[in-house]
Amino acid sequence: MKRVLLLSVCCVVFLGALGRILFYEYAKNTKLQEMREELMAIAAKSSPSIDAAALARIPLTMEGDKTPEYKELYDTLREIKEAYPVVKYAYILTTTDQPGIMQFVVDADPLPEIVTARSQRSFPGDKYDVRHLTEIRNAFSMVCADRNINADAWGVTLSGYAPINGPGGKAVAILCIDMDASSVYAYQNAVRPIISLLWALAAAAVIVAIGGLVLRRKKAASAGPPQKP
């Protein structure tokens, strides 16, 4: 009777812990997916407003931000941010000859002081290491968004991308839209120890249950076959 009760308790603990783990994971994944879908929708709607011809005329040098084309596209990015208040950063990147390294063309947002003290924003041609971004390599061919939150000097963000197509429909750059993800990031960090504890409880419940069954079988084996009266 005691063994049955212990096994029942272990099953309840295991199922309860597993249920909570699945709940936390579902809540996190649902919120991330909602953010990804919103980012992709904003990027897809906004990228046609970027003038690819003007973009091509911006020199990728420190002096590039003084051109009329830069000012035009800078204002376009600011308008995108005003139209979508959830957007934290909006900027345009293009390729370099270095794998995993891209470069800014237009940046509508100030840089944090720990990145640079020379300017309030990135200059055309400033390099950006994108090897930590999971989906950006697909952004020249499709609208996409990162699946993981990025924490760096700019803050805690989730990024969405859309190609900026030039003549002939070929992508010449990508529009990048960042959304603040600090609340989801904080939620992840807060529940991580809880999930670890729940997994520990679930594992302990399984171990106890298996141990009880093994002990029961050993006792039954040592007792030998039942004697005939």
Would you say residue 52 has pLDDT above 70?
yes
Greater pLDDT, 199 or 33: 33
CATH number where 92 lies: 3.30.450.20
Query: Would you say residue 98 lies in a domain?
Result: yes
Amino acid 134: pLDDT? 82
Q: Is 8 a member of any domain?
A: no
Q: Which domain holds residue 78?
A: 46-184
Place of tokens 């919103």: 38
24 falls within a domain = no
Would you say residue 141 lies in a domain? yes
- What digits encode the pLDDT tens for the residues 109-166? 765 544 544 445 688 999 999 988 889 989 999 999 999 888 877 788 999 999 999 8
Q: Is 25 inside a domain boundary?
A: no
Q: CA–CA distance from 4 to each of 8, 40, 72, 96, 178 (Å)?
A: 6, 53, 75, 66, 54
Position 80 pLDDT exceeds 50 = yes
pLDDT at 82: 93
- Min mean pLDDT across 24-33, 34-43, 150-159, 175-184 is at 24-33
Inside any domain, residue 21: no
pLDDT for the residue 122: 81
User: How many domains in the chain?
Assistant: 1
> Is 194 contained in some domain?
no
Instruction: Judge residue 154's burial from the number of C-beta atoms within 10 Å of its C-beta, 0-12 exposed, 13-18 middle, 19 or more buried.
Output: middle
